[in-house]
Homo-oligomer: A and B are copies of this chain.
Amino acid sequence: MINRVRYQLTEADIPQTWYNLAADLPDMAPPINPRTGQPITREDMKRTMPDALIEQELSKEREFEIPEPVRQVYAQWRPTPMFRARRLEQALGTPARIYYKYEGDAPTGSFKPNSAIAQAYYNKEAGKTLLVADTGAGQWGSAVAFAAKLFDMSAKVYQVKVSYQQNPHRRALMETFGATCVPSPSTETEAGRAILAENPDHPGSLGVAKSEALQTVFDNPEAAYTRGSASNHVCAHQTVIGQEAIRQMELAEDYPDIVIGCSGGGSNLAGLSFPFLGAKLRGGRDLRIVAVEPVACPTLTRGRIAYDYADSGGLTPLYRMHTLGHTFVPPPVHAGGLRAHGIAPLVSRAVEEGHIEAVAVTQTSCFEAGVQFLHAEGILPAPESTHAVRVAIDEAIRCREEGESRAILFGLTGHGYFNLSAYERYFAGTLPDDALSDDVLDHGLASIPELALV
């Protein structure tokens, strides 16, 4: 008899609905239109998104039905496997039961298509022909490139320049799907030109890329802006991950004491943890949820809760969230997907309410954990995912030290096959660490709009 290590479900188990935490988390502050000082309206939102997504974004309903064409595309890779990391447990000598939900077998190699497919579908239905995206490491950009191709649309992706340079294979993948990929800041938009005029060597940031993508959409009625994280509807789309994980934990006859996810814009963490959190808020079992972010971009651990823009240029509404300031530019760590100055309002609120803990970890400690995971489990984690691996290993070691057997579930959001040069730098000892200066942090925090501090 072999020990079960992979918990599989069938297509009958693909969730029928997306879960919306807003139904169970009261008193969410509405986004504000900075020109009116009033909560944003459906009319405000129509410039960049179709009605169906606006409804999801503003909804307090608990569930949104997943359209059948979206579930049909999901069926190629969903339900994704949940693994019991028995070899890692053995290597650590821990009594902990370590599980990971793995999204890297999805097309383009990460969890991002869960929402990209949904957004492409709704925008296609609304008559759009071009999807515009901003992307860090390129996981969102390549997911949008894939989704656009499936729904016979074009795609244009603004990629943070430092990631564009670090990771030419992600760009090549987007282009192979037929998308156009532009390093940001670029000369293609007013926002990009303004930033380059000030600093021609600007490494880019998610906030700048977002401004460029938004401006492109404002200028083209055929175009739709796609959101890779942070928005309520994106968090909802990603809950297919956690809903499946709940079923898979049932198969394992277990329940997580701790759920761990890496945290940038927040949608991966939301996707894995919100279904568990929702169950708890409705009277279900208690558990710890841990958000792991890089010390280079410590949104939850060193940011402020305030109203701020989601982009550097101030083109978005103001969101109440943990923020490092919308002009904050983090050091160029390889976890490009975690270099976000602000986080999903739903995640922010859950942290504020004490439902989610936050911890920041260094880049080299994450790569160390990634290599340890590879050696035991055979899967190379994306740099973002190594953040969750790091804390899962730390918690498993704590179990060993305390002689406690806890169930640890973490999200392995994607594979690192595009990031081998980062691993090479790790082995060469040339990965910089803890490179966030107080000056850079203070400069960012100073950009939080004064009037909006709450």
Cβ–Cβ < 8 Å partners of A77 in chain B:
6
| A11 vs B4: C-alpha distance when bound (angstroms) | 8
Cβ–Cβ < 8 Å partners of A72 in chain B:
2-3, 5
Q: Which of B6, B68, B150, B374 contacts A2 (CB 8 A)?
A: B68
**In the complex, how many angstroms separate the beta carbon of A164 from the nearest chain B beta carbon?**
14
Q: Which residue of B lies closest to A85 (CB)?
A: B76
Cβ–Cβ < 8 Å partners of A379 in chain B:
107
Given known contacts A177-B374, A375-B177, A378-B108, A76 and B423 CB-to-CB distance under 8 angstroms: no
**In the complex, how many angstroms separate the beta carbon of A142 from the nearest chain B beta carbon?**
10
Q: Is the CB of B423 within 8 A of A172?
A: yes
Cβ–Cβ < 8 Å partners of A76 in chain B:
5-6, 83, 377-378
Question: In this complex, which of A75, A149, A371 has the most chain B Cβ atoms within 10 angstroms of its Cβ?
Answer: A75
| A113 vs B87: C-alpha distance when bound (angstroms) | 17
CB-CB contacts below 8 Å: A146-201 with B: 146, 149-150, 168-169, 172-173, 175-178
Q: Which of B10, B108, B377, B423 contacts A8 (CB 8 A)?
A: B10
Tell yes or no: A52 within 8 A of B by CB. no
Given known contacts A10-B8, A75-B2, A150-B87, A375 and B178 CB-to-CB distance under 8 angstroms: yes
Q: Is the CB of A172 within 8 A of B4?
A: no
Q: Which residue of B lies closest to A418 (CB)?
A: B417
Cβ–Cβ < 8 Å partners of A107 in chain B:
377-379
Cβ–Cβ < 8 Å partners of A374 in chain B:
176-177
**A contact residues, total (Cβ < 8 Å):** 48
Cβ–Cβ < 8 Å partners of A113 in chain B:
378
Question: In this complex, which of A146, A176, A418 has the most chain B Cβ atoms within 10 angstroms of its Cβ?
Answer: A176
**In the complex, how many angstroms separate the beta carbon of A352 from the nearest chain B beta carbon?**
38
**In the complex, how many angstroms separate the beta carbon of A444 from the nearest chain B beta carbon?**
34
Given known contacts A76-B83, A107-B378, A176 and B2 CB-to-CB distance under 8 angstroms: no
Cβ–Cβ < 8 Å partners of A108 in chain B:
378
Tell yes or no: A452 within 8 A of B by CB. no
Tell yes or no: A105 within 8 A of B by CB. yes
Cβ–Cβ < 8 Å partners of A427 in chain B:
175-176
Q: Which residue of B lies closest to A171 (CB)?
A: B420
Q: Is the CB of B172 within 8 A of A420?
A: yes
Cβ–Cβ < 8 Å partners of A83 in chain B:
76
Tell yes or no: A222 within 8 A of B by CB. no
Q: Is the CB of B150 within 8 A of A420?
A: no
Tell yes or no: A235 within 8 A of B by CB. no
- The 21 sampled A-B contact pairs (Cβ below 8 Å) are A2-B11, A2-B75, A3-B72, A4-B11, A4-B75, A5-B76, A8-B10, A76-B83, A76-B378, A107-B377, A108-B378, A109-B417, A169-B417, A169-B421, A173-B380, A173-B420, A175-B424, A175-B427, A176-B420, A177-B374, A417-B418
Additional 7 contacts, C-beta under 8 A, given A8-B10, A149-B375, A177-B375: A3-B75, A107-B378, A172-B424, A175-B424, A177-B374, A417-B417, A417-B418
Chain A positions within 8 Å of B, measured between CB atoms, are 2-6, 8, 10-11, 14, 68, 71-72, 75-77, 83, 87, 105, 107-109, 113, 146, 149-150, 168-169, 172-173, 175-178, 371, 374-375, 377-380, 415, 417-418, 420-421, 423-424, 427
Q: Which 6 A-B residue pairings sit nearest by Cβ, starting from the closest? A: A107-B378, A172-B420, A417-B417, A169-B420, A2-B72, A105-B105
